[in-house]
Amino acid sequence: MKSMTCIVCPKGCSLSIEEKEKGFRVSGALCPRGEEYALQEMTDPRRTLQTTIRTNLPGCRRVAVRTSKEVPLGEIFSYMDAIKGVILEEKKECGSVLARGLCDSDVDLILTERLY
What residues line the site for ligand SF4 (CB under 6 A)? 6, 8-9, 11-13, 29-31, 33-34
**Measured between alpha carbons, how far is 97 from 99 in angstroms, rounded to an integer?**
6
Nearest approach, Cβ of residue 33 and ligand SF4 (Å): 4
Torsion angle of C-alpha atoms 90, 95, 100, 105, degrees rounded to 10: 150
- The residue (of 34 and 110) whose beta carbon lies closer to ligand SF4 is 34
- The residue (of 28 and 72) whose beta carbon lies closer to ligand SF4 is 28
Nearest approach, Cβ of residue 32 and ligand SF4 (Å): 7
- The residue (of 12 and 74) whose beta carbon lies closer to ligand SF4 is 12
Coil vs helix vs strand at 112: coil
- What does 56-110 look like in DSSP terms, one character per residue? EETTEEEEEEEESS-EEGGGHHHHHHHHHT-EE-S---TT-EEESSGGGSS--EE
- The residue (of 27 and 51) whose beta carbon lies closer to ligand SF4 is 27
Nearest approach, Cβ of residue 87 and ligand SF4 (Å): 38
Nearest approach, Cβ of residue 63 and ligand SF4 (Å): 31
